[in-house]
Structure 1
């Protein structure tokens, strides 16, 4: 079974994590099911960018992003060439390493 390595994030996963990643599951669902409380303001429907992650290893193993995902990613903080919305990035047969960006554009979570 593939593994998902989550690089340390100061609030969400300070020590980092290595998770078993069943094929066919989105990265976001996998994180949430393992108590890594990644923001997901649109409830995994590809309507926001709060679940944005940067895929450090294994990017090419993921299915291509849809046009809708690409349009949403254009609004993400810290966008890179290997950015994905974790609600849309579905684990295939390769190990993945991801970084959770430090910020999102979700104003509701910023104590405003």
Structure 2
């Protein structure tokens, strides 16, 4: 189980043991990360699971797809170069030690 760290906008860190094959959003919601609203349940139909991925892991994730990029346009929080929707990130062993930050609002 890869360990992923979620850091909220106030700086509180939560380490999560994520299951390979589940999405980052699922792992965060199960762990009670409060700033992951995930209103659409992972259907890539909203932007309420927006996270900022630390630069060291951007290459491992690959580029965001067209649908994800389109949904990021609706994010209420500031979209950055490292913005991703956590529902579109599938956990793999390669993501061991990844840290993501949640924005102050979704």
- TM-score class, shorter-chain normalisation, is 0.7 to 0.9
TM-score, length of structure 2 as denominator length: 0.82
Partner residue, 1:83: 83
1: CA distance, partners of 2:90 / 2:62: 7
Cα deviation, residue 17, structure 1? 0.9
Q: What residue ranges of structure 2 are gaps of 5+ in the alignment? A: none
Give matches, 1:1-112, under 5 Å.
Answer: 1-10=1-10, 15-37=12-34, 38-56=36-54, 57-76=56-75, 77-92=77-92, 93-94=94-95, 95-104=97-106
Q: What residue ranges of structure 1 are gaps of 5+ in the alignment? A: 105-112
Cα deviation, residue 74, structure 1? 2.0
Larger-gyration structure (1/2) = 1
Question: What root-mean-square deviation, in Å, do the aligned CA atoms of Structure 1 and Structure 2 show?
Answer: 1.7
Residue 71 of structure 2 aligns to a residue in which SS? helix
Q: May I ask how many residue pairs the two structures share in their alignment?
A: 101
Higher relative contact order structure (alpha carbons within 8 Å, sequence separation ≥ 6): 2
